[in-house]
Amino acid sequence: MTTHWNRKDQHIHLAEMQYQNTSTNGLDGVRFVHQSFSEIKTEDVQLNTQLGSLSLDYPFFINAMTGGSEKAHVINQNLATIAKETNLAMAVGSVSVALKEPETAESFKIVRKTNPNGLIISNLGAHHSADNAKKAVDLLEANALQIHVNTPQELVMPEGDRDFTNWLNNIEEIVKSISVPVIVKEVGFGMSKETIQQLLDIGVDIIDVSGRGGTNFIHIENERRDHKEFDYLLNWGQTTAESLLEAHFYRKQADFIASGGIKNPLHMLAAFGLGAKAVGISGEFLHMILTKGNQVSIEQIESWKEELTFLMTMIGAKTIVDIEKKPIILSTDLTNWCSQRYIN
Ligand code: FNR
């Protein structure tokens, strides 16, 4: 086994180990004002949503995780089966390894084989060229490409990148030359309005703010270090709620995805209340398939669709974009964030 095969399996193992962590993504600090007359019925509610030119039947999806090892192959096959049965979109983990070592490509291709007509999103890091981005799309006949930005993870990763000078240039080239929509995503450290402006300036119009409060890649990479030096850095980054507040002014210029610690339909509702058009879920789905298997996971997802419909009915929102028009109250932590960051 080569090092990166070990790394992929370690990521899966360590992500699952930290599942019980009690960190918060801030979405519990977003409360809808209850109204006694919702004046709609459940069958009025439509769960479909739009991310740029991508149409999703459901506003939550399986976010990027894995590929590149035997264990990852099995996980990808299970996730793809679930995506097919529930009609959720699905992103794979970084296909970088498959470009370097074609013998690992099958662990990604299985996703398209399992779900020939599904909405599948490929994934690469921002150090890659436009040529590689095209290969990443072709590998899966992908409907879209995620480019992940993950500086803290790379720096804490013993074998990670140390040079971040070309990321914006690379993304700009990729956006210009790729025929499918490009989504730029964080990996659990959140985004700022400055970052979002930089992405808008180079033509990115679908952004996953992927905030703190769920899977924590500083923790995961630190656990892989002999001396675990970075224990003090575990709270780095903006929570998912803070990141969506940072995105507030840019909602007309881009479609935002929320991810980071999404565990239930109320988190989804809160994210939509703050302007997200869709939510991505990784850690929770990983935990689900590892501990409950495919069938129970499918039932859980079907239940979530119904529960989200109920929550939307309760607040009188017929569509995902209606949700952000409903009155919300923010926690003092979140209002403090807004006032120091001049967001109102
Ligand atoms: C990830 N994530 C990730 N993201 C990415 O863009 N490329 C990748 O290869 C991976 N790999 C990966 C492996 C595992 C095991 C997990 C759990 C996650 C990050 C993921 O897409 C997401 O941004 C964060 O995990 C935050 O969301 P959750 O996990 O809190 O729902």
pLDDT in tens, the chain (344 residues): 344 558 999 999 999 999 988 889 999 999 999 999 999 999 999 999 999 999 999 999 999 999 999 999 999 999 999 999 999 999 999 999 999 999 999 999 999 999 999 999 999 999 999 999 999 999 999 999 999 999 999 999 999 999 999 999 999 999 999 999 999 999 999 999 999 999 999 999 999 999 999 999 999 999 999 999 999 999 999 999 999 999 999 999 999 999 999 999 999 999 999 999 999 999 999 999 999 999 999 999 999 999 999 999 999 999 999 999 999 999 999 999 999 999 87
Measured between alpha carbons, how far is 264 from 108 in angstroms, rounded to an integer? Answer: 27
The question of ipTM being above 0.95 is answered as yes
pTM of structure: 0.98
Whether ligand 1 lies within 6 angstroms of the CB of 237 is answered as: no
End-to-end CA, the chain: 52
Question: Residue 316, annotated ligand binder?
Answer: no
Q: Does the residue 101 lie in any domain?
A: yes
Q: Does the residue 282 lie in any domain?
A: yes
What ranges make up the beta strands (E) of the chain? 30-32, 49-51, 54-56, 60-62, 90-91, 120-125, 144-148, 182-185, 206-208, 255-259, 278-281, 328-330
Measured between alpha carbons, how far is 77 from 18 in angstroms, rounded to an integer? Answer: 23
Question: Residue 262, annotated ligand binder?
Answer: yes
CATH code of the domain in which 202 resides: 3.20.20.70
Instruction: Match 């019925």 to its residue by tokens.
Output: 41
Q: Does the residue 1 lie in any domain?
A: no
Write down the pLDDT at residue 22. Answer: 80
Atom 2, ligand 1: residue with shortest CA distance? 65
- 3-state secondary structure string across 236-286: CCCEHHHHHHHCHHHCCCCEEEEECCCCCHHHHHHHHHCCCCEEEECHHHH
Write down the pLDDT at residue 1. Answer: 39
Write down the pLDDT at residue 20. Answer: 86
Torsional sign, CA 268, 199, 76, 66: negative
Report DSSP letters for 318-331, one per residue: SSHHHHTTS-EEE-
Atom 10, ligand 1: residue with shortest CA distance? 65
Helix (H, G, I), strand (E, B) or coil at 49: strand
Q: Does the residue 85 lie in any domain?
A: yes
**Which residue type occupies 180?**
V
- Report which ligand 1 atom has the smallest distance to the Cα of 285: 31
Q: Which residues pair with 32 in a beta bridge?
A: 328
Write down the pLDDT at residue 2. Answer: 46
Whether ligand 1 lies within 6 angstroms of the CB of 190 is answered as: no
- Stated as kind and residue range, the H or E segment containing 97 is helix 96-100
Could you tell me the residue range of the domain that residue 62 belongs to?
7-341
Whether ligand 1 lies within 6 angstroms of the CB of 215 is answered as: yes
Measured between alpha carbons, how far is 153 from 196 in angstroms, rounded to an integer? Answer: 19
Tell which phi-psi region holds residue 332, choosing left (phi > 0), alpha (psi between -120 and 50) or beta.
alpha
Characterize the bridge pairing of strands 120-125 and 30-32: unpaired
Considering its fold, how many domains does the chain have in total?
Answer: 1
Distance 66 CA to ligand 1 centre (A): 8
Q: Does the residue 2 lie in any domain?
A: no
Write down the pLDDT at residue 30. Answer: 98
How long a stretch of residues is the chain? Answer: 344
Write down the pLDDT at residue 4. Answer: 52
Distance 283 CA to ligand 1 centre (A): 7
Question: Residue 153, annotated ligand binder?
Answer: yes
Characterize the bridge pairing of strands 30-32 and 328-330: antiparallel
